[in-house]
């Protein structure tokens, strides 16, 4: 009775998301576990039931370290109590891997991740390919191997992750509700490989996968914007590799569709705005249409205005908006654009952690913008600030950088127009 009531409360929590239902389900499942006999052949299922509920709670803001530790303890007990039936044992192993994975993501201990991979690998090895859970466990294993590859960079983990993800997709029916999710796990592992290899063949596979995911995603699906963004990102990457305008134009269309699927106030909207601005900027660089530049500035301004103030990558968007405004100043001579570019570049420089690669770009661009305003206004305050910014550039730039020589940077103050050659966009 207690177990059945706990199951009903769990189903209502999954349907409505009320944390009170989950807490009551955990309480009742705990009582059911206490009432069950360890000699019962089904005892391990009581343990797994409570473990699964606690893992759900661990994803809520109200969860505690005690909840996670208890979930892991229950996983080990279920392993010890489970019969030798390979199906039941694989279920226990997979849940144990999931519990340890959750603790890794909270604590960052590589041992938890290593153990999670070990147990999930064993779960995949025990379950027959024709069982529905084979695809689920394989996808879980691919994700875990991908996490370890991100942490250690060992290519063997990437190869194994791709193989596990392929196995998962191949054993998932075409119209299965989880097929898009498992396809995205495969795309994620391929993307990690693409970042290392820049292989267009890998990128083509990613585009094919992202396209299939979209085809399987209803227009009103809550994750449609994210899945559109995946395809737009991949098309933009292929444009960078091949220069095909068809890919860039399609990426811009998809970004617009992604924005249309994301209402104002959505926590991820600023990311899609930033993506579309970057794509429009790329098309402006290729075709020179001022309309693309104006639209990129408008969209990036909204991204900066709506993104969280404490976002760790905020400096990137501040820098990019400053770069866009500086570019428009080149074309129109509107001093207000240059003023705003300087303001943004100053904020970006202050917000950039010093350990970020190419940190020197922030101070470099600020110094260039200030020197150019000095050329227009003659303000000695601007030239003083420019000198300070460019001195900071030489202090943080690698000494073997091709523009390291301070004399070449300082010449920017005295050679009008030369500064245009040394701006970067992230």
pLDDT digits (tens, 9 = 90+) for 7-41: 888 888 888 888 888 888 888 888 888 888 888 88
Q: For residue 75, what pLDDT is reported?
A: 83
Q: For residue 411, what pLDDT is reported?
A: 44
- Which carries the bigger pLDDT value, residue 106 or residue 150? 150
Q: For residue 417, what pLDDT is reported?
A: 47
* Mean confidence (pLDDT) of the chain: 88
Contact yes or no for 283/249 (Cβ under 8 A): yes
Question: Does the structure show a pLDDT above 90 at 289?
Answer: yes
Question: Does the structure show a pLDDT above 60 at 286?
Answer: yes
pLDDT band at 294 (very low <50, low <70, confident <90, very high): very high
Question: Does the structure show a pLDDT above 50 at 366?
Answer: yes
**Sequence ranges of the domains in the chain:** 1-85+92-106, 128-216
Structure tokens at 218: 């209803």
Q: For residue 414, what pLDDT is reported?
A: 40
- Which carries the bigger pLDDT value, residue 95 or residue 399? 95
pLDDT band at 55 (very low <50, low <70, confident <90, very high): confident
pLDDT band at 257 (very low <50, low <70, confident <90, very high): very high
- What is the per-residue DSSP string for 297-347? HHHHHHHHHHS-TT-TTHHHHHHHHHHHHHHHHHHH--HHHHHHHHHHHHH
Question: Does the structure show a pLDDT above 50 at 425?
Answer: no
The CATH number that domain 1-85+92-106 falls under is 1.25.40.10
What are the helix (H) ranges across 61-178?
Answer: 65-81, 86-107, 110-126, 132-152, 155-170
- HSE-CB at 159 with a 13 A cutoff on CA atoms is 3
- HSE-CB at 77 with a 13 A cutoff on CA atoms is 18
Question: Does the structure show a pLDDT above 80 at 357?
Answer: no
pLDDT band at 117 (very low <50, low <70, confident <90, very high): very high
pTM for this predicted structure: 0.83
Tell me the percentage of the chain whose pLDDT exceeds 70: 92
Q: For residue 231, what pLDDT is reported?
A: 97
């Amino acid at each position: 009775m207690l177990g059945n009531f706990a199951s009903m409360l769990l189903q209502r929590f999954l349907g409505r998301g009320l944390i009170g239902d989950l807490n009551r389900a955990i309480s009742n499942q705990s009582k059911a576990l206490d009432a069950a006999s360890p000699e019962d052949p089904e005892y391990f299922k009581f343990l797994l039931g409570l473990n699964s509920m606690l893992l759900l709670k661990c994803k809520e803001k109200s969860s505690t370290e005690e909840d996670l530790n208890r979930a892991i303890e229950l996983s080990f007990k279920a392993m010890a109590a489970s019969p030798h039936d390979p199906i039941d044992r694989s279920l226990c192993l997979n849940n144990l891997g999931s519990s340890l994975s959750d603790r890794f993501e909270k604590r960052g201990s590589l041992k938890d991740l290593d153990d999670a991979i070990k147990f999930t690998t064993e779960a995949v090895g025990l379950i027959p390919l024709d069982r529905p859970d084979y695809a689920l466990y394989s996808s879980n294993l691919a994700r875990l191997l991908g996490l370890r590859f991100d942490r250690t960079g060992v290519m063997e983990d990437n190869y194994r992750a791709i193989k596990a993800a392929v196995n998962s997709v191949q054993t998932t029916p075409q119209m299965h509700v989880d097929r898009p999710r498992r396809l995205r796990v495969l795309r994620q592992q391929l993307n990690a490989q693409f970042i290392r290899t820049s292989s267009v063949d890998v990128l083509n596979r990613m585009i094919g996968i992202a396209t299939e995911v979209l085809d399987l995603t209803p227009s009103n699906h809550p994750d449609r914007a994210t899945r559109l963004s995946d395809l737009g990102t991949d098309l933009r990457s292929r444009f960078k590799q091949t220069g095909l305008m068809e890919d860039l134009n399609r990426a811009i269309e998809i970004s617009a569709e992604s924005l249309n699927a994301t209402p104002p106030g959505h926590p991820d909207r600023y990311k899609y705005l930033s993506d579309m601005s970057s794509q429009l900027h790329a098309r402006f660089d290729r075709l020179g249409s001022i309309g693309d530049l104006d639209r990129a500035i408008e969209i990036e301004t909204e991204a900066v205005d709506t993104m969280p103030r404490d976002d760790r990558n905020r400096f990137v968007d501040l820098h990019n908006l400053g770069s866009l405004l500086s570019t428009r100043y080149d074309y129109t001579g509107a001093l207000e654009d240059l003023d705003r570019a300087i303001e943004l570049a100053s904020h970006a420089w202050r917000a950039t952690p010093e350990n970020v690669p190419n940190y020197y770009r922030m101070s470099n661009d600020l110094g260039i913008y200030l020197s150019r305003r000095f050329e227009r206004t003659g303000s000695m305050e601007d030239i003083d600030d420019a000198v300070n910014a460019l001195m900071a550039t030489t202090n943080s730039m690698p000494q073997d950088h091709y523009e390291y020589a301070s004399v070449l940077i300082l010449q920017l103050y005295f050679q009008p127009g030369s500064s245009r050659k040394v701006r970067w966009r992230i």
